[in-house]
Structure 1
Amino acid sequence: MSDELEAHIGPGSLVLADRGLWGLARWHRLRDRGAHLLWRIERRKARRVEDVLPDGSYLARIEANKHSKAAGTIKAPPVRVRVIEYRVDGQADVVRLITSLLDHEQYPAAELAALYARRWEIELVFDEIKTHQRGRPVLRSQTPDGVRQEVYAHLIVHHATRDLLNEAARLHQSVAERTSFTRALNVVRRTMIAPGGFSPLRAQA
């Protein structure tokens, strides 16, 4: 997480982050800005259990690793977090989240776990555009204006394809998220009329 991104986070924000972005100092910085946090973390973290809550989550204490920094470095103070653990259907790995939302009644563990799972939706969108829709390792345009135009074109095509999926799901009373984007994209491509092999300017002459 860059300093530029942190500068846009303020009171009322809920910051979600994957493993690898954890940092005690960063946690304190964002909390000082008034933001709440819901982060995935490695299982070896937050082992000091203080209290087990009725929804299965628990409160724990995290302290700075005394071996992680050079001698003389000021270490971040400890923090009290709430830990939520769950498994995704069909997978053996345990997903472990920590959050600054300590009230289990106002913020049930199941709701926070479902919210965190939705973070992957943006990752799926990136994959749909970059891997399946674009089909090329790089953009073809060689000017800044051309690149912007090409990016906007890809976003418009993705939005239109997703809109088609939503409409199909509505008609068939199914869930659009469980419908193959690749299959829908192939249907769209098959229905497109191939461009003519002549110059419009030449046709007008």
Structure 2
Amino acid sequence: MYSGKLVMAQLFDHLPMHTFRRCVAKYPSKYPVLKFSHFDQFACMAFAQLTYRESLRDIEICLRAHNSKLYHLGIRGRVSRSTLADANETRDAHIYEDFALALIKTARKLYAGDSFAVDIDNTVYALDTTTIDLCLSLFPWARFRKNKAAVRLHTLLDLRGNIPSFILISDGKLHDIHVLDHLIYEPGSFYVMDRGFIDFSRLYHLHNAQAFFVIRAKKNLQYRRLYSQPIDKETGLRCDQTIVMTGTNTQNSYPVPLRRVKFYDAEQDRLFVFLTNNLDLPAITITQLYKSRWQVELFFKWIKQHLRIKAFFGTSENAVRTQIWIAISVYVLVAIVKKRLHIDASLYTMLQALSLALFEKSTINQIVENIGDEPCESVNSNQLNLFD
């Protein structure tokens, strides 16, 4: 019988604690740390994510029920609702942002060799935004509309492994196109976006960075066709054109030729028009790249369903950002553990199993293997399995 560490302690063993301490040192705080350290805060919030806790009091009661085991998880301080609330309000959320980004860097290396649905060697990113609705009276700093508040999660997802490589948390007023100003483009990589990100001056900057984009065109696009490539209409393609912009502003914003690909999706009975600055790939590959963008939609739906980012434990901007970044850290941590331990089960299965076994003394592999994927499939055939 296994008599080693608790399951939650095994998870925490995969955390780079030297990196965590550097993040803490980077943002000094006057809030006392001797009685309740930064890692105490992180561990409590991670526990809330892994076990789907509903409130700070819920966290306090559940952790105190295992009070004798908390020391083995690295939690040295006394867990209380007020202490955790004060830490979330006071300690700089950038600590957990930097730590999450460090975990993302580790995870991307582990998943870099994963296969991709499209036969292409380039790195492919999907860029999209999701909105998390809030109550305006409780979150006045996040005003979105006249009677509504929201925060927006702008995410650049690496489609090899579905690991977010860039995340920006903003209030509801930030338009999608401004997210492009925060990106550092990788030469040779593809950036797949919906038409909400169309801004030709910014796309031209991406082009000059020697990166590629695939984006849906708007209906009012003004252009002139230079020539057309032959196509096979049986594949769903309707045209493959090289064009130049003729709009009053767009011809100056994007002065070089673009590629326009029209595709008919028989399943949805819809026509799609894509723009790209890549003139070499087959037109059907361009359509496949855009179709792969759906993975970022699944990512948003997945984290909203399985992590605590729709109901918040604090109402300040710092508390909200802290909770979101720790939720992302938990998502990436479980992905790292899945890859390092060579676990075949889906991420959903792992989280469901771990949520009930954090204080058991079994190996993570044993916990997951005892469950398998079949019960999850029978409950919901549409379950999102990002890591299958």
TM-score normalised over the length of structure 1? 0.63
Q: 1:10-44, CA deviations, whole angstroms, 9 ceiling, x for partnerless residues?
A: 43232222102222222222222222222211133
1:121, 1:38 → 2: CA distance?
A: 15
Does the 8 A contact of 2:192 with 2:215 survive in 1? yes
Count of residue correspondences: 170
Q: What's 1:134 paired with?
A: 307
Q: 1:148-172, CA deviations, whole angstroms, 9 ceiling, x for partnerless residues?
A: 444322444577899xxx946xxxx
1:185 positional shift: 8.3
1:192 is aligned, of 356, 359, 379, to 356
Does the 8 A contact of 1:64 with 1:77 survive in 2? no
Code of the residue aligned with 2:356 in structure 1: it is: M
Q: What's 1:62 paired with?
A: 245
Q: What's 2:218 paired with?
A: 42
1:63 positional shift: 2.5
Does the 8 A contact of 1:17 with 1:38 survive in 2? yes
Q: What's 1:101 paired with?
A: 278
1:3 is aligned, of 181, 187, 196, to 181
Percent identity for Structure 1 against Structure 2 = 20
Does the 8 A contact of 1:82 with 1:100 survive in 2? yes
Q: 1:67-126, CA deviations, whole angstroms, 9 ceiling, x for partnerless residues?
A: x9xxxxx943533111111133421331111111223xxx11111111121122022112
1:136, 1:27 → 2: CA distance?
A: 31
Q: What's 1:71 paired with?
A: none
Code of the residue aligned with 2:282 in structure 1: it is: P
1:134 positional shift: 2.5
1:51 aligns with 2:227: yes
1:16 aligns with 2:192: yes
1:83, 1:147 → 2: CA distance?
A: 38
1:153 is aligned, of 330, 337, 346, to 330
Does the 8 A contact of 1:19 with 1:41 survive in 2? yes
Partner secondary structure for residue 78 of structure 1: coil
Structure 1, gaps ≥5 residues long: 69-73, 169-175, 197-205
2:337, 2:215 → 1: CA distance?
A: 32
Code of the residue aligned with 1:119 in structure 2: it is: R
Code of the residue aligned with 1:192 in structure 2: it is: L
Taking CA–CA contacts closer than 8 Å with sequence separation of 6 or more, which of the two structures ends up with the larger relative contact order? Answer: 2
Does the 8 A contact of 1:9 with 1:30 survive in 2? yes
Question: Equivalent residues in 2 for 1:162-177 (5 A)?
Answer: 167=344
2:252, 2:189 → 1: CA distance?
A: 26
Change (3 A) 1:32 1:94: same
Structure 2, gaps ≥5 residues long: 1-178, 232-238, 361-388
1:119 aligns with 2:293: yes
